[in-house]
Structure 1
């Protein structure tokens, strides 16, 4: 008897042996059921060696109590303590699997199954499992027999008799035997159906690949044929009979009874998935895969294997489809399709589970499997040694053939084995289908101990898991691209490497249209033993993946070579890309998104430093830019040099803006894509407007200094109009302006006018000097009298004109007027002059409204370019920029006098104010805003992709694909992009017709 307050020696020994609840364990050891062995030290040592000694002891007590009588219990316990193999296997299972302990408590004689296998190297196959299932002539008997076999497999697993690959193969063999037994039961239940058809069961997924989990859906495809010569043979009847047999087989395996379930049989990988017939003839399968199958369906067929039913028919199926499988890599968008499917899987993981996902999360099992399968499909066309459905076998073959570096393959093999073992042990506990790492401390402790981590099991487990997941993440991209570098760098003689043909095949499959050119660039960048080449070999595997993820990988790689050639001897360049996490990915995205940003960068390669600065992509304010430009102009020697300096600032800032726009649209690993397209448009409009205003201010200062020093005979201001005044410039927009001056005191008006005209002439000359930069064109056609009127007027002349001659369209144009450069006081007084015109008191009269509507209708009929699709023209087309802006501007002119919020030059701001004032219902306001934002983004995207302005989608396939990526559409979905544009703008046109025309 234990003295109260003291711990017994047993209690202390239990703690030392790894029990976490020694008090309960001590009580259980005192149970009558264990009386013959409770003091046997061998038992305690064996319990302490299990993954969870407390769980093992509870299971042992239940199993002992479940024996039919005292004699059988004593026989069981004597055998247990005397036979070490049985003791290790049984207690190992009880300490790892509560579900199998439940099975043993229901079927207490099944412990004898663990006496069967004595030899450490005995690995049963399908025939042995079929033998053990042979007596199961009904579904429940099959379930019990299946669990008995599972007991043996798990015993070999937890004791280390089999490794994880062998365990997975045994589970697949047991599944094969079970499918055969279930089909036999179904045939006996319906002999007339069995007589009418041949039915083959094709294993897919992990069962087909001989790498099954403890608990997993068993993926299958059914193939049927009519029995030749059978009485009344008819294909339709045979397919109905085969479908009944297949359905019965599925129910036998999938149904849950008091004996539990075996596993769900999943036939959704069949042609057309759930919508397709459960059973098809071989010719129907072939026809589907020839005409309709998607890339992922051929990827799934890598693991197809006949397992049950008519095996000769199953072999015919595999042989008929194999050529199509190994031609899948030649399909258009092959790699993007595969990678897109992988991304979709990750995106569908609930946010709170990503960090616990062992299978689907980043660095998980699926990353290894997808990478291996992709390389198999690319190179298996010409190398039959890669035709394996088993991941680790295929990985070894890839390494042997030089398609994967041997060191990388070894690391990946080790990581995959560890992660699969974790997955097995997690599922084994309750025999539930899960890939989530548990969070409970006791579960983690058991899991860690089951993997041999006995010091600090929880801590060691977390560290090992994160380490191996990190290895997988790092190698996932490297696996595709490192061998390409080895093929051209030739630094490892004696190591198998990709042949030029294989390297070209891989690049082509990855989306490179010119694999020969790509290999030439890789060789130029990475060959040699210099430090520069070594850093490039570190960077390029990841960069190549990012290029391949774009619409134009070749352009990205070419741009990177050019930038590297320009900056290769600059010590900070490669160091920046290597050490600053975001810089390399940002550069890859920018270089492969189109022509504009790379062109800007190649004219000023040092601007790549912007991509490594955490704040580098934040646009500078107009005030900051103007100060920098004016300072540069002040230091310059001459007007032309001054404007060149201002253009240099503009070039750098335009690159900053394009880079921020691209990265905000595409997203990177560290910075996901911007979720608000309107914010991207506003940011671009504000940034381009600011830097153009600063450049014009610089040109103005240069023009004045060249002729008058610092004192001009007349005050001078530049008024922004149109999108310039509205802070809504696109990359390729002209800057609409008005020029206004006011003679200084004592200066003759004619002299002041001559000075003002000379300023405008010189400004325009300076801004039009030949340059390779994107042009900054200033357009003064919105001035009074248009092109017929003087380029510049005095404030007094504007006042006289507007008082006597102003037309309604000119008042409408003045809605966007805002001072942009020059004398701020003069600019302010110009705005005071025009406010009564653009926001007339009591609003517009009916005649003015009719005139605006007439002008709009005339513009629609006369200004649309010949041959342009009016449903896709962003400016003048249906529901485009013009429709939205004229609708908003009519509201501003009618109600701006009474609603202060409408007195703004910005379209979206005025639209929000109109909604707030109750002038536009919520849904209609949102429709107009969506259309305006989308049309603006398309215009920006066209300039980014093509390097020149345009008002409609490009026709070139690659450019159209790049537009799709910019707008957030996956590869191959440009049709959806065009359909969405038409749908959104069609709705906007309907709103415009209602609000603007009053129809």
Structure 2
């Protein structure tokens, strides 16, 4: 076509190229004219590349260079049209890498390395690469040969013919072959090279066969004198060989560079000698090495030089690597090192750091390596070098959940492929995500993003970062790691006899039975057994720190056998070490909690979660219990639902108590609120049941008056629910029928809650009602009014100090409160005669109710300075002064005591002494129930019980005698205050 028709032809071609997807179709059309590229098939294939404009530009440059280099006018298109696979590979490389395109312009003959007949069918190992590099004779030819092999690896990668793992392994093996070739060239340059044996040990990603496209290759050199050679001379020669190898790989020539060889991971880093003998290496690691240096050795692999010497190096240091986790502060040091890496990232780069930033590659690698080093002491399956292999081994061994392992592997693979593509573009060592859309678009297309590739690539990157960060926090900071790492290595490899001896030394009273439980938990090939093998070293140590290691281990076996098949149980203990430690503390320290857990093992799920261990409010519990109960027409089933809620909440409160998360006042409030909510729901159920039996609604309103410790919101674990029942017949109702109905409701309520069953019973005690057991179970409001008006004694008014009418009909509760307030808080206070009567009754209680043989110095309730002394003193002040001091009008002991001190009715120091005594004795009472699952009347006499109570009080397992001393001192001081304030 004449030249004056060329613009028209270019315009026509531009339209076609625009439709194909070229960003600058005019320039592309001009290029096609200039390089006389007439093949429609070639152009259409170029258009499918990651960057069509770049690929076309490079293709034209290469075609010109190819024809010139061939010297025959041979056109590259001839080869491309004849070999579709060559065309596909070349377009993928040219569209995904500026640098490789520039290399092909300089060495166009290398294009033919991508032909179907030339490309290797299978991935190559180091030996195969060494054969290819065998003809290399100088540094420039090594660079060209290296690039040609890199070209083939990239072509397979960019056409998605090889996985990330295969690509990384090939890059690592090519690096190993390059090091071997560089060492061969160095030996040709260095005089007397035969006098030194030298092994090159790959570290880092090269050692793990997971190398990047562009990365420093970390190495360590180990040498020895050849047979008969002088050792000092051999050292000098080995140093020159290592230095020359480093220069061969890293220096710039007209053919560019390969990569830097970094030997700074050697002992003493830059300050240490470049080469060392094997004994020198061993001596350094035995004496001086830091934690991070053993972590680096995890990937050590001989890749070049003297193979036997390299193998000896790895074998000599491997035992130290796999014992590194026992070093003091190993886990903490590893975590601190990761934090330092993040802290050293410049702020402007932090959000673009693909490798070092939060949620980056290092988060995966550090988590995996920490798990390997901690658990690899006993499980040789974990002693692998690559991150993805290690993840598979950790999943197979039960150290990481399958879903977590799959998510982390997916995220790590994504990040590594993203990193590869970033580096491949310019063959530059970088880990920063590009900020320009054009580059991101190109990279996204190489990763198969076709729709809005830049935006979707960044979106997926952020999602994977978040997932990596989540899993890193979960695995890297797993509390169980600290406990397992702290176990001596010899404790993990014991004969049965040695295991029994160690269990006995840990404090197990029956080591033979303990060993039987261990075997039952850990034997076999089940995944649950594998996880138990991880857990048991830490669990045994935690049990041993508690009062009853044998009971804890037995209970753990029972719970595990109940829950071992559930998907969450062992995973929770493994992944949330705080939950495992807390469970050990419960099972070995509290028979009360153990009983609750064994009744419903799913309550273990609350452990390790601060929110779950927070006692629930009254409103939340009563709403749940009422709602749950109303879903069942059958009263028995409705009650079972309420009792299940109560059992769960008892577990929550007791667990929090054992863990020291709640004080004795909070425990009293929580237990009282739970009991109140239970009574509220049970009253609804009993009312419905009686109405069903009667076939009509109740002819009366019913309320429950809380009394005693329940009314004072000071319940302990061993407390019954002290109550009085009151009813008020509806207008026009028959009073006898109303009383019968109310009594039926009260009786049914007590039966439903007190019947034995899978959940703990609640004894509802109505003995504090007027006339006690001799009086009617339920009275009308009018009957109470008449009784108190005629018969009420001062002790009954004192009992009403704890009365809290809060359950049942609100109006009736308010009316009952209005009735009793003048009785318990009389307008002018009680008379002096009543004061004397209170003192007389207290003296009689002290003399007659203290059990025969009980020590007055140690009886928790009735002993000197005990619960009764403090409460009677406070109650006397209430009856005397509540009419004038509003703060005394409370059912709770400590608030009343504080109010008395504020009103100067008692000295602040005396009030503090009484408060301290009340708290301590109440805590001991609760602790004994937690420990033995039964109430204790006196300070424990048994040494084991004292130790257990002291442990629950936070005094340590050896704190029993100190606890007794504290008790005697505190109650003695309280008794002195009682003598002055109560007895006058």
Band the TM-score falls in, shorter-chain normalisation: 0.5 to 0.7
Deviation at 1:378, TM superposition (A): 3.6
Q: Which residue of 1 aligns with 2:84?
A: 84
> Residue 376 of structure 1 aligns to a residue in which SS?
helix
1:393 aligns to 2:566 (yes or no): no
Deviation at 1:164, TM superposition (A): 1.2
1:262 aligns to 2:293 (yes or no): no
Distance 2:657 2:325 in 1: 24
1:544 aligns to 2:577 (yes or no): yes
Q: Cα deviation per residue 1:11-33 (whole Å; 9 max; x = unaligned)?
A: 45434434333343333333x12
Distance 1:24 1:349 in 2: 41
- Quick one: which of 361, 364, 370 aligns to 1:368? 364
Q: Which residue of 1 aligns with 2:911?
A: 763
Q: Which residue of 1 aligns with 2:337?
A: 341
Deviation at 1:500, TM superposition (A): 6.9
Distance 2:390 2:40 in 1: 47
Q: Contact 2:421 / 2:446 at 8 angstroms: preserved in 1?
A: yes
Q: Which residue of 1 aligns with 2:416?
A: 420
Q: Contact 1:555 / 1:592 at 8 angstroms: preserved in 2?
A: no
Q: Contact 1:224 / 1:279 at 8 angstroms: preserved in 2?
A: yes
Q: Which residue of 2 aligns with 1:462?
A: 458
Q: Cα deviation per residue 1:265-313 (whole Å; 9 max; x = unaligned)?
A: 1112212222222111101111122222233322222211111111111
Distance 1:387 1:344 in 2: 26
Q: Contact 2:203 / 2:299 at 8 angstroms: preserved in 1?
A: yes
1:502 aligns to 2:554 (yes or no): no
Q: Which residue of 1 aligns with 2:221?
A: 222
Distance 1:29 1:304 in 2: 51
Q: Which residue of 2 aligns with 1:295?
A: 291
Q: Which residue of 1 aligns with 2:140?
A: 140
Deviation at 1:453, TM superposition (A): 1.7
Q: Contact 1:378 / 1:506 at 8 angstroms: preserved in 2?
A: no
Q: Which residue of 2 aligns with 1:853?
A: none
Distance 1:509 1:104 in 2: 64
Residues 556 and 13 of structure 1: is their aligned pair in 2 closer, same or farther, counting only changes over 3 Å?
A: farther
1:680-695 alignment to 2 at 5 Å? none
Q: Which residue of 2 aligns with 1:43?
A: 42
Q: Contact 1:65 / 1:73 at 8 angstroms: preserved in 2?
A: no
- Quick one: which of 356, 373, 381 aligns to 1:377? 373
Q: Cα deviation per residue 1:193-236 (whole Å; 9 max; x = unaligned)?
A: x1332111111111111111101111111101122213xx1x23
Q: Contact 2:219 / 2:265 at 8 angstroms: preserved in 1?
A: yes
> Residue 770 of structure 1 aligns to a residue in which SS?
helix
Q: Which residue of 2 aligns with 1:26?
A: 29
- Quick one: which of 291, 299, 317 aligns to 1:321? 317
> Residue 298 of structure 2 aligns to a residue in which SS?
helix
Distance 1:257 1:13 in 2: 43
Q: Which residue of 2 aligns with 1:161?
A: 161
Q: Which residue of 1 aligns with 2:182?
A: 182
Residues 11 and 757 of structure 1: is their aligned pair in 2 closer, same or farther, counting only changes over 3 Å?
A: same
Distance 2:402 2:614 in 1: 30
Deviation at 1:186, TM superposition (A): 1.9
Q: Cα deviation per residue 1:447-481 (whole Å; 9 max; x = unaligned)?
A: 22111121232343234334444444444466687
Residues 274 and 450 of structure 1: is their aligned pair in 2 closer, same or farther, counting only changes over 3 Å?
A: same
RMSD: 5.5
Q: Which residue of 1 aligns with 2:202?
A: 203
**Larger deviation: 418-427 or 129-138?**
129-138
Q: Which residue of 2 aligns with 1:435?
A: 431
Deviation at 1:93, TM superposition (A): 0.7
Q: Cα deviation per residue 1:405-428 (whole Å; 9 max; x = unaligned)?
A: 445444433333222211111110
> Residue 280 of structure 1 aligns to a residue in which SS?
strand
Residues 306 and 509 of structure 1: is their aligned pair in 2 closer, same or farther, counting only changes over 3 Å?
A: farther
Residues 482 and 334 of structure 1: is their aligned pair in 2 closer, same or farther, counting only changes over 3 Å?
A: closer
Residues 707 and 762 of structure 1: is their aligned pair in 2 closer, same or farther, counting only changes over 3 Å?
A: farther
- Quick one: which of 235, 243, 247 aligns to 2:239? 243
1:212 aligns to 2:211 (yes or no): yes
Residues 573 and 321 of structure 1: is their aligned pair in 2 closer, same or farther, counting only changes over 3 Å?
A: closer
Distance 1:445 1:510 in 2: 55
Q: Contact 2:562 / 2:601 at 8 angstroms: preserved in 1?
A: no
Q: Contact 1:358 / 1:364 at 8 angstroms: preserved in 2?
A: yes
Distance 1:643 1:284 in 2: 79
> Residue 121 of structure 2 aligns to a residue in which SS?
coil
Q: Which residue of 2 aligns with 1:931?
A: none
Residues 50 and 253 of structure 1: is their aligned pair in 2 closer, same or farther, counting only changes over 3 Å?
A: same
**Which segments of 5 or more consecutive residues in structure 1 lack a partner in the other structure?**
610-630, 646-697, 714-738, 742-755, 776-943, 950-954, 957-999
Q: Contact 1:334 / 1:509 at 8 angstroms: preserved in 2?
A: no
Distance 1:59 1:317 in 2: 47
Q: Cα deviation per residue 1:712-746 (whole Å; 9 max; x = unaligned)?
A: 89xxxxxxxxxxxxxxxxxxxxxxxxx999xxxxx
Residues 554 and 179 of structure 1: is their aligned pair in 2 closer, same or farther, counting only changes over 3 Å?
A: farther
Deviation at 1:166, TM superposition (A): 1.1
1:280 aligns to 2:280 (yes or no): no
> Residue 236 of structure 1 aligns to a residue in which SS?
helix
Distance 1:248 1:512 in 2: 59
Q: Contact 2:408 / 2:471 at 8 angstroms: preserved in 1?
A: yes
- The count of corresponding residues between Structure 1 and Structure 2 is 659
Distance 2:463 2:100 in 1: 31
Residues 605 and 138 of structure 1: is their aligned pair in 2 closer, same or farther, counting only changes over 3 Å?
A: farther
Q: Which residue of 1 aligns with 2:858?
A: none
Q: Which residue of 1 aligns with 2:100?
A: 100
Deviation at 1:430, TM superposition (A): 0.9
Distance 1:560 1:256 in 2: 71
Q: Which residue of 2 aligns with 1:449?
A: 445
Distance 1:510 1:458 in 2: 52
Deviation at 1:440, TM superposition (A): 1.8
Deviation at 1:314, TM superposition (A): 0.8
> Residue 225 of structure 1 aligns to a residue in which SS?
strand
Residues 355 and 123 of structure 1: is their aligned pair in 2 closer, same or farther, counting only changes over 3 Å?
A: same
Deviation at 1:435, TM superposition (A): 2.1
Q: Which residue of 2 aligns with 1:57?
A: 56
Deviation at 1:643, TM superposition (A): 12
Distance 1:593 1:356 in 2: 46
1:935-950 alignment to 2 at 5 Å? none
1:121 aligns to 2:154 (yes or no): no
Q: Which residue of 1 aligns with 2:738?
A: none
- Quick one: which of 708, 715, 724 aligns to 2:881? 708
> Residue 191 of structure 1 aligns to a residue in which SS?
coil
Deviation at 1:399, TM superposition (A): 3.8
Residues 332 and 575 of structure 1: is their aligned pair in 2 closer, same or farther, counting only changes over 3 Å?
A: closer
Distance 2:541 2:219 in 1: 30
Distance 2:520 2:470 in 1: 21
> Residue 201 of structure 1 aligns to a residue in which SS?
strand
Q: Which residue of 1 aligns with 2:783?
A: none
Q: Contact 1:643 / 1:767 at 8 angstroms: preserved in 2?
A: no
Deviation at 1:317, TM superposition (A): 0.8
Deviation at 1:581, TM superposition (A): 11
Q: Contact 1:329 / 1:378 at 8 angstroms: preserved in 2?
A: yes
Give the TM-score of the pair, scaled to structure 1.
Answer: 0.56
Distance 2:265 2:586 in 1: 36
Distance 1:10 1:707 in 2: 108
1:473-872 alignment to 2 at 5 Å? 473-476=469-472, 496-499=527-530, 502-504=533-535, 507=538, 528=562, 540=573, 542-544=575-577, 597=661, 603=667, 706-709=879-882, 711=884, 758=906, 760=908, 763-764=911-912, 766-772=914-920
> Residue 499 of structure 1 aligns to a residue in which SS?
helix
